[in-house]
Structure 1
């Protein structure tokens, strides 16, 4: 009952929510309306800070460029499976230490430069080098050497078995880049994909055009043009969709407005799965969050169902660890620290904080983060803890202050990477969480190719996090997609953050 009261109070504050000439003109208008559309305008809530996924961590970069402009040796399909791409095949030595890739021939970058093994070597060496700015540099850490015996062959020799290598090579951070243009990819990206970069009007949109020389003739790209428009305000997103100014919002940012589209025959509402894990990360080396009992008490003070209802209008799945129900080896650990304000307060007193404490939440401006923060603020107040909310601009300031400097008490963000439980083993990483036993489990996952054994290890890793609570595990966001009913081919689910346009087309 108490949590419902909190939600009710918060809801009121948060959710506002010549005849011949005329005849010719009419004929022209009718014919124009009948002509099939060859372009699409895709809406996004947050504009990326750059357009090169090999040097920037923001998922929005990949949502514009991955599989549209840039491609990798492998790729991840709509079912989340690894598929060949610029590498048409590969073999792995029995000891798991040598990967030999056969590269596709006849592939060229948008600037006309040929893709071959020397380009692949440049890309991988750039990503694993000492001065690498790659956001997933760890993906390449086990690569000891890169050899190019001929233009169509690439050999990677590893220092240790790495069971996830083929999957990691399909990621946005692993896309192939052309050496001469690589330095400028942040603003003028050049790739091998089905679309070429045309223009970036900062603060407004990114325009792409169909690549007439695309290598993959098995794919029939239907769109001649595509634009990504950036609209942060949820009401403006809804208005743009209803007015037809935007053809699709694959990740619609206002769940409370979803029902307003019911009965609209021009628009389709598609609710799918994502990997977006909303967690409230804590600085595990800063008091009082360095005390595990404090973190556990805060977790018990959180009614996840109320958070989902208040923050995302009931769309979402509560989680008890940094893992989604879509992922292999998933365990439901929401019962590890079930909601119990009285026990939370008692545990807090046991940790030496009978009168609670105060701290600051650095919350990005996105709706889910702001709303979740306000709900958490009210819940923590129930156990005597005062949480101040400091809105932190995302991505630039959040990346600088939280992700890079770890200068924060608590923050909240949706982690979009699939199977990214290993972030708690990274050093450094903004949680500042250190647990050798957890790190050992993640190392064992990579050391084996046995899927059943990997799933078991993933389960053990989830359990450690659920018990230690390095972050408050809240919920998985669904993919709330709203788009023109005649627009087909967009991914309904999101196994990897993306807006893949290869199969997008208009129904005739």
Structure 2
């Protein structure tokens, strides 16, 4: 009898352990390279913010789906006036913020007026420039009137910068984000990890995960070790490109090489000598061998670009020949610009692998045409403050992962300091045009103008190198927007 009891007890223990193991599979640990400076997407430019909170914690009127399409979010539907200037949004009812406060049309008006106001700290304030008025029709209806028709308006409302926040919690969202999404903020161990948990009171389709932990692992070797050990089960953007073949050969993992909106550029301060001279910028661009750069810094992952536009977009044109590698021409341009013996400059590099490794390669190539670039490594917070905010730099390398962001070169206060009335006019025309063929033509004119003026040296399109446990389903394969959307992620049985 005792032996039978031991067998039964053993089965019971086994069942309990199996059940606990199955329960653990509603948790997920994801690796991320950069820790966000804070968690308020309406008050910061860092992509790392949206990589945590977009679609998980915060939601907008619309959202961008995994294929780059505009989908309903807090707005269940909308109508547009015949003249294209008035949008009327019908909002979902019975929606609550994570702190229990009710969501309604007043929150939409507050959020949009706040984002476009004079005191706005929104990093993408231009998204809201077309808005003339925001009116509350009733608690579940909002009417937005534009100054002129905008073909990108619904798309713009799907950015992380356009999420809806509540006046009660807007001031503390940097450290304790309160949204309406399927996950709630749980905890943040600075320098280590951010934890979000399932929102049991979510208004829509509930999340399939109970908890997700975003673990900060900036070192490529540590990222590889964490995945192999199972300490991290997914790395949506894996930083160790040289290790990818190892995971491709391991059936425990799924490796997905997708596309992103990340135009990687060598930014130059267009108002700071000698980079205020177009010939100098053209010389810099001609000194860079993009194939060697992609092979050396990205281990072959990445696609060369000749302007600021994603190759997967239907309006893309290949302009790489405009600034193709030609060191002799680069030397000639440098001499014509008044620097026959070259010059000294600085190159500030943020932490991502593409920047640090790419910077070493580019500095060596610039040296061949007489430009001595002192490499200055900076942390992400330093880069945001020194380069992006205060424009205290000569050159830098960064990937711009925001979607449909060609218009950044039309902004007077953007860190490139590029000032082209012709380009600004093209952007205005694009924004006011809804006809597909006409927009394509304008987009192509804008690409050609940037390729000619070279406000930055356009390097390559950043790939989305995703690696995760083969039993995980629902992570995005491509990156049409800077996000780790976990709303449909689950573990397979």
Distance in 2 (CA, whole Å) between partners of 1:100 and 1:409 is: 46
2:399 pairs, out of 404, 411, 414, with: 414
Provide the aligned C-alpha RMSD in A.
Answer: 1.6
Structure 1 residue 490 corresponds to structure 2 residue 469:
no
3-state DSSP class of the match of 1:96?
coil
Q: Name 1:436's counterpart in structure 2.
A: 421
**TM alignment of 1:26-37, pairs within 5 A:** 28-30=16-18, 32-33=20-21, 37=25
**Offset at 1:29?**
4.1
**Aligned mate of 1:304, from 290, 308, 329:** 290
Q: CA deviation at 1:161?
A: 2.0
- CA offset at residue 160 of structure 1? 2.1
After superposition, give the CA deviation of every residue in 1:290-321 in whole Å (9 maximum; x if it has no partner): 11111111111111000000111010000000
Equivalent of residue 465 in structure 1, options 450, 453, 473: 450
- Residue matched to 2:299: 313
Specify the SS of the correspondent of 2:29: strand
CA shift for structure 1 position 263: 2.6
Find the aligned partners of 2:70 and 2:16 in 1 and give their Cα distance. 48
Deviates more, 1:433-442 or 1:359-368: 359-368
Cα distance in 1 for partners of 2:111, 2:323 equals 45
Question: What are the within-5 Å matches in structure 2 for residues 166-177 of structure 1?
Answer: 166-177=154-165
SS in 2 for 1:477: strand
Give 2:308's aligned residue.
Answer: 322
1:479 aligns with 2:464: yes
**Alignment deviations for residues 328-369 of structure 1 (CA, whole Å, 9 cap, x no partner):** 310100001211111111121122211111100011122210
Check whether the contact 1:320–1:336 (CA below 8 A) recurs between aligned residues. yes
User: For the residues of structure 2 that align with 1:347 and 1:128, how far apart are their CA atoms?
Assistant: 42
TM-score norm. by structure 1 comes to 0.93
Paired with 1:34 and 1:430, the residues of 2 have a C-alpha distance of 49
Aligned partner of 1:183 among 171, 174, 181: 171
Partner residue in 1 for 2:132: 144
Count the aligned residue pairs.
Answer: 488
Change (3 A) 1:180 1:314: same
Aligned with residue 93 of structure 2, among 72, 88, 105: 105
Deviations 1:221-247 (A, max 9, x none): 211111111111111111111111111
Aligned mates of 2:232, 2:24 — CA distance in 1: 17
State the Cα distance separating 1:260 from its structure 2 match: 2.0
2: CA distance, partners of 1:34 / 1:42: 18
Equivalent position to 1:222, from 195, 204, 208: 208
Note closer, same or farther for the CA distance 1:84–1:30 as it changes in structure 2 (3 Å cut): closer
Q: Is there any run of 5+ residues in structure 2 with no aligned partner, and where?
A: none
Unmatched 5+ stretches in structure 1:
1-17
Of residues 59, 67, 73, the one that matches 1:71 is 59
Give the match for residue 39 of structure 1. 27
Q: 2:59, 2:181 within 8 Å by CA — same for their partners in 1?
A: yes
Alignment partner of 2:263 out of 274, 277, 292: 277
Tell whether the 8 Å contact from 2:197 to 2:212 is kept in structure 1 after alignment: yes
